[in-house]
Structure formats: C-alpha cells, structure tokens
Structure 1
Amino acid sequence: MSGETAAPERLTLGDKVGRWAGLTALIVGGFFPLVWMLLTSLKTEAELQKFPVQYLPGMLNFANYARVFTEQPFARFFFNSMTVSLLSTALCIAVAVPAAYALARLNIRGRGLLLTAVVAFSMFPVVSLLVPLFRLFRGLSLLNSYPALILPYAALSLPVAILTLVAFFSAIPRDLEAAAMIDGTSRVGALMRVVLPLSAPGMVTAALLIFVNSWNEFLLALSFNTKLDMRTVSVGVTLYQGEFAFPWPLIAAAVVIATIPVVMLIAVFQRRFVAGLTAGGGKA
C-alpha cells in the first residue's frame, strides 16, 4: 500500500563489524601521514636514525619548529602563500559567480558547448602552460611578484568554481528570484540577496577548493617567483635540504606548520564544506 513505510534495514553483526572496520581503516589511512609527520617533527636526528624504528620521540622536542623560522625566512614564505591564496580565491570567486549565474539562469545559445569547454579547460596539465605563461609574465615584467601567481591560480581554479556554482544556482527555484524582482529588485539584486545566501555551502566549497589548490601549488611558484623573499611555503619547504643532507625532522616541522591553515579552514567550515560536496547536484 502507498501509505505504508518501508521497514528500516536491519544489519547483521557481520555487516556492522565490516562497516566499522572499513571506517576505521579509512580514518587511520587518512590521518596516519599527518600523525607520522607530527611525530617526526618532534624527534632528533639521532632518534630518527635509530634501528629498529623508534615510533615515539623520547621527549617533546620543539627545537625543530624554532629552527624552521631561523634557518630560512619561513614567516615570509607563509605570508606570501597566504596573500597569494586569499587574493586568488577572491578573484576567482568574483569571476565565477556571474559566469556561473549566467550559465545557470540565462537562455544562452550553446550553453552545453560552453560547459564542455569549461570542463576541457580544467583538464589542461599545468606543465603545458608553464612556458607560455612564463614568456607572457616576463614580457609584462610580472615575474617575482604576487600577480604572477594570483592570475594563473585564479584562472586554473575557475572551471572547478564555475561547475560547482552552476550546480547550486540551478538547484535554486526560479520562483524565489521572480518574487524578488516583482518586488522591485533587479536581477543583480536577486542574485546578491536571494541566490548567493542560499548557495552558501557551494560558495564555501568552491572557495576552499581554490584556496587549497593555490596553497599547495608548487610548479608555477617555483618557476615564476625565484627571489627568496617571494617564495611560497610549498617551495620554501624544499630549501631546508642540503646538497648531501636531508634534515627530515626540520622538514617535517615545516610541513606541519604549512598544513595548519588548511586544517583550520576545514575544521571551521567542515559542515558547509560537506554540505557543498553532497548538495547542489540537482540539475546543472
């Protein structure tokens, strides 16, 4: 009968054990590299070279974290990465919002072709763009500057941001915008006052993806900004190794510090981020 509701699925003990085992393996596999890096950063060189392997440090040794800032200008690297990542995220979102709204709401001829082009552009390997971008920025005298990274980071992240926002904008009923425009609001006002607040999870998801991609990018940062005071964190971490030595505890400490902003952002916005990954998949 149509009024009857389906009985909830009853799991056997084996099913429950299997699910918990899979979840535990997933959590351990995901967090183990970070935990291992943290433990390595607290060890001395002698403890790291012991055999058999000493998994836990003999004592909490934070000297490596102090050396991170004294042996290289890591604070400058951190500032450069934060500046580039935040500005590239802001620029990308500012361009992606009107582009995604137009694709989702306006009757544009060739809309499907445009979305296909967006997807195709997102598949371009960064290494194929390295030489032309380098020649372009050298001609514009933009090498060793923030725009040399902000502009390509925003452009490379734009397809993902557009596709994410198109899905969210398309899932919002058009009647809400129509009601706002009947009350005298312009289409831009309806976008700002109706669509964007309802698309907050999608906005957060797109912004986090752009920020993380910009924060972790290595190849362009290595090639375009060669001056020491313009290096980013991802490149600065590699400067601690010597010609014949790899101070792994020191490198591990630098990696832990570089991971903190991403972990904090995910921790603060995890609910909206998860909602953004699971929602907005209606019609694109």
Structure 2
Amino acid sequence: MTTAATDTKATGATGREPWGARAGRLLRAVLSWPNAAALAVAAFVAAPLYWMAATSLKPPEEIGTHPPTAWPENATWANYRDAFTDNHFGTYLLNSVLVSVIATLLVLSLSAFAGYALARLPLRGKAPIMVSLLMISLFPTIALAAPLFLLMRDMGWLNSYQGLILVYTALNVPFAIWILRNFFQSIPKEMEEVAWVDGASPLRTVLSVILPQATPGVFTAAIFTFTACWTEFLIALTLNTADRYRTMPVGLALFGSQFTVPYGTIFAAATVSVLPIALLVLIFRRAVVSGLTAGAVKG
C-alpha cells in the first residue's frame, strides 16, 4: 500500500509523470558525461555549418561587420539568386548530380559482383588482391592527375562527362569492394545453398538473395562513393576546363574576380552543395552505421 501510494503521488492522479519530473530526468540524462560529450562534438561539427548558412542570408554590408552578428539582421535571399543567375551555379550543380549519380551506379554494379567473388568464390590470391585494392584506394589523387589528363586527351574525352565518370568509377571501385566484401562475408552461406537447391543461378542468387540482405552495406558504399564524387576537385579541375562541363566544387572555387570576392554568394552556393550529403546521411544513417559496423566486425 505504501509503495502504491508513493507511485501514485509521483505520477499524479492521472497516472502520468509530472512535467517537472520528466524535465528533471531529461536534464540528468543530458548532463551525464557520455551524452554531454556527444552534444559537445555535435555542437563543434554543427557550428561551422550554422555560420555558413547564416552568412549566406546576410547582405554584403553585414558580412564584414565587427563584432559579427550571429543571425542576419536583414536576411535576404539575394545571395542565392546571384549564385544561380549570375554565376551559373545551377549548371555546375546539374553537372555534379549527373556525374556523381552515374559514377555511383557504376561503382555499385562493379563492386557488388567483385566483392561477392572475393567473399564467396574459391579464388587464389585473395589476400594480395585485397591488399592491392587497399593500396589503390589510398593512392594520392594528385599523383594521378597528369597521367589521367594525358590518357583522356589521347581518348578525346577532355571536357566531357564520360571522361570524369570513368575516372571517378575507377577511383572509387576499390574502396566499395572492401565495404561490400566484408558485408557479404557476414551473410550466412546457408541462404545461398538454399537458393542453389531451388535451382537459382549464381547471378539470380546474388541479385535476389545476397543483395537484399546486404542493403546496409550497399547504402554505405553508395553514400561514400557519392560523397567522394560530389566533393572531388582536383581531377574535375584538370579534365574539364570548359565552363559548361565544370562540376560544383570547381565552379564554386572560381566564383569572384580579381578584385572582388562575393562572400555571400559563395556561402549561399556552399550551403546548397552541402544539403544533398546532409540529407542522404540523415535519411540513411541507420543503414550506414549498420554497414560500417558489419565491415568492422567481419573484416
């Protein structure tokens, strides 16, 4: 009776926990050191993004004020309008979408079958192959710029979409194979054996049985590949010098002129360029964490 009376008093006559008790419990949870550390890291990461978005809404005369304003006193969308109308940012953005999406699809198509072969088939020299793939994925891009330029020039693919797509695919396939191979190893082999008993071909087994089970790994490889293609600068600057074929990072770097730097327009374009990556990570964050965890445990 005493315990029941105490519980009734704590939760109120309606059986619900009082607002003050809920707020206190939430505050204690937030102030615990793991949550406080996570919040501190999140604030450290989010602060530059917030400052970029806030500055993109400031008029030019407010951007250089001292002390700076945390939020624009006279917010305006003029910087976004200038980015798309005066600086052709829409063309750069569409080029990046086209190149990044096609390259990501090609990388997934190639790395899925290669990763499955390295994870399941009785191939000789798997260890040297995996080491070679890791070394290729870690090779500095700046060392490849000149050879790739000469290769694309001889093929006639300078200032083209296909040249950049081909290079991005080749550069990102090794890392995607590592991610998918590790994830394929975590899938029980009995599922494939059941499909073989039912008469499924190896191709049908991969498409209908393995890939649906490896969805988190596929999403992880896709997001990492898309991010790498979306933000790549040096190869895009080297291969595509014509304005109509420039991608978003190159076009953003060339904003302004010799005497003026449109900081507001640059911040507005940078804010737009960050949104696709942020949305992808927010929407598929569970799949990404699952894919990375599986790779870390099973690799």
- Structure 1 length-normalised TM: 0.92
Quote the Cα distance in structure 2 between the aligned partners of 1:241 and 1:218: 18
Q: 8 Å contact 2:58–2:76 — kept in the other structure? A: yes
Query: Is structure 2 residue 199 aligned with structure 1 residue 178?
Result: no
Q: Which runs of 5+ in 1 are unaligned?
A: 1-12
Check if 1:221 corresponds to 2:221: no
Larger Rg: 2
Residue 84 of structure 2: which of 48, 52, 69 is its match? 69
Superposed CA RMSD: 1.5
Letter aligned with residue 73 of structure 1: H
CA distance in 1, matches of 2:297, 2:106: 27
After superposition, the C-alpha distances for 1:23-62 in whole angstroms (9 at most, x for unaligned) are 1111101111110000110111211111122222102211
Deviates more, 1:68-77 or 1:34-43: 68-77
The aligned amino acid for 1:260 is L
1:31 lines up with 2:23 in the alignment: no
Displacement of 1:16: 5.5
Paired residue secondary structure (2:261): coil
Provide the residue aligned with 1:208 in structure 2: 223
Distance 1:26 1:33 in 2: 12
Q: Distance in 2 between matches of 1:123 and 1:184?
A: 41
The reply to whether residue 273 of structure 1 matches residue 285 of structure 2 is no
C-alpha separation between the residues in 2 aligned to 1:231 and 1:207? 23
Instruction: Give the aligned partner of residue 72 of structure 2.
Output: 57
Query: For 2:298 and 2:153, how far apart are their aligned partners in 1?
Result: 43
Label 1:60 to 1:99 Cα distance change in 2 as closer, same or farther (>3 A).
same
Unaligned runs of 5+ in 2: 1-27
Instruction: Report the identity percentage.
Output: 38
| CA–CA distance in structure 1, aligned partners of residues 295 and 211 of structure 2 | 13
Q: Distance in 1 between matches of 2:207 and 2:35?
A: 44
Supply the distance in 2 between the matched residues of 1:17 and 1:34 (Cα, whole angstroms).
Answer: 26
Distance 2:241 2:29 in 1: 57
Q: Report deviation, 1:18.
A: 2.2
**Cross-structure match for 1:9:** none
Q: Does 1:126 align with 2:114?
A: no
Q: What displacement does 1:14 show?
A: 11
Matched, 1:96 2:130: no
Give TM-score scaled by structure 2 length: 0.88
Q: Secondary structure at the match of 2:254?
A: helix
How many residues are aligned here?
Answer: 272
Gap change, CA 1:279 and 1:106, over 3 Å in 2? same
CA–CA separation in structure 2 for the residues paired with 1:243 and 1:16: 50
Matches within 5 A, 1:251-270: 251-270=266-285
Q: Measure the CA separation in 1 of the matches of 2:212 and 2:296.
A: 17
